[in-house]
Structure 1
Amino acid sequence: MSDRDPLAFKVFNEIGIINQLTSAAFAAVLPKGMTIAQFTVLNHFARLGHEQRSPAQLASAFQITRPTMTSTLARLDKAGLVTIKPDPGDGRSKLVSVTAAGEKMRDLCLQRLAGPMADAVSVLSSETLEALLPLLQDVRAKLDRLRD
């Protein structure tokens, strides 16, 4: 990295590297057949209070194509972790919701992620994490508004 690189690039480059490191660590401990993409969908539902979402809304939230999201949802549906039903208000649309099995799978994933998270906590103090969280939440919220 060059001293001439823009500050924003340096910050987002660091976030990208952190994402790569944590994704690799997380993928290594997820239950067999569970991908990071599938876990993030289950986690998204938990974060939103398990509200139903259309595949298009989910694709938009994850900034991926609809076919990519449809593929991820099909695998989750086949495993019984989500249900995909026709939208009663629009016969052309579908609504996705997480199942009890999906909630249990998310909990299992979180249990499996305890090891990598403990490793991170061993090198990052609680004070560091507490200081980072509101800053990262603010960055996420502001960038999320940019895409709307």
Structure 2
Amino acid sequence: MSTSQPPPDDPPLFALMNEVGIIEQLARNRFDAAQADGLLLSHFVLLNHLVRVGDGTTPARIANALQLARGAVTNTMQRLEERGLIRLAPDAEDGRVKRVFLTRAGRARRERAVRDATAALAPLLADLPAGSVEALIPGLREIRRRLDRARDG
């Protein structure tokens, strides 16, 4: 286990983003290992996005929101559709455009992934002071909102 410290002269904002990035890598590996049926984090991210934004968004909007290439989103959507977790339908006004809908199975699978990932990570954080994880959430959400706004222009 590495306990290395960043250089003391790193700016706090960089140090924060560096820690978030490292946490993301470590959590991604735990998440993937916790999914009994091979659901990947990239699949979960799309399911989770649909829960957050609701049904009927387009693949292009998903790609933009997740900052992924359209081909990567198309590939992920194909895999999720094959598993019955999402449904693609032509847009009612423009048949060339597809709309993405979360199925009941997709919503249930997202909820199971949350439970499985939480169970896999909780023991590692069990000895943190009470409320410390919850206390971080508002500040991290605000940083994410600002980054979202900057992305969207």
TM-score by length of 1: 0.91
Q: How many aligned residue pairs are there?
A: 147
User: Which aligned pairs between 1:96-107 and structure 2 lie closer than 5 A?
Assistant: 96-107=100-111
User: Which aligned pairs between 1:117-128 and structure 2 lie closer than 5 A?
Assistant: 117-128=121-132
Q: Give me the whole-angstrom Cα distance separating, in 2, the residues matched to 1:33 and 1:127.
A: 32
User: Which aligned pairs between 1:21-40 and structure 2 lie closer than 5 A?
Assistant: 21-40=26-45
Q: Give me the whole-angstrom Cα distance separating, in 1, the residues matched to 2:128 and 2:28.
A: 17
Deviations 1:28-73 (A, max 9, x none): 111323110111111112223x321100011111110000000000
Q: Give SS of 2:75's match.
A: helix
Deviates more, 1:99-108 or 1:121-130: 121-130
Please name the residue that 1:95 is paired with. Answer: 99
Q: Give SS of 2:97's match.
A: strand
Answer yes or no: is the 8 Å Cα contact 2:30–2:121 preserved in 1: no
Give identity over the alignment, percent: 37
Residue 125 of structure 2 corresponds to residue 116 of structure 1: no
Deviation at 1:121, TM superposition (A): 3.8
Please name the residue that 1:133 is paired with. Answer: 137
Cα RMSD between the aligned structures? 1.4
Q: Which amino acid aligns with 1:52?
A: G
Q: Give me the whole-angstrom Cα distance separating, in 1, the residues matched to 2:122 and 2:73.
A: 31
Query: Which segments of 5 or more consecutive residues in structure 2 lack a partner in the other structure?
Result: 1-5
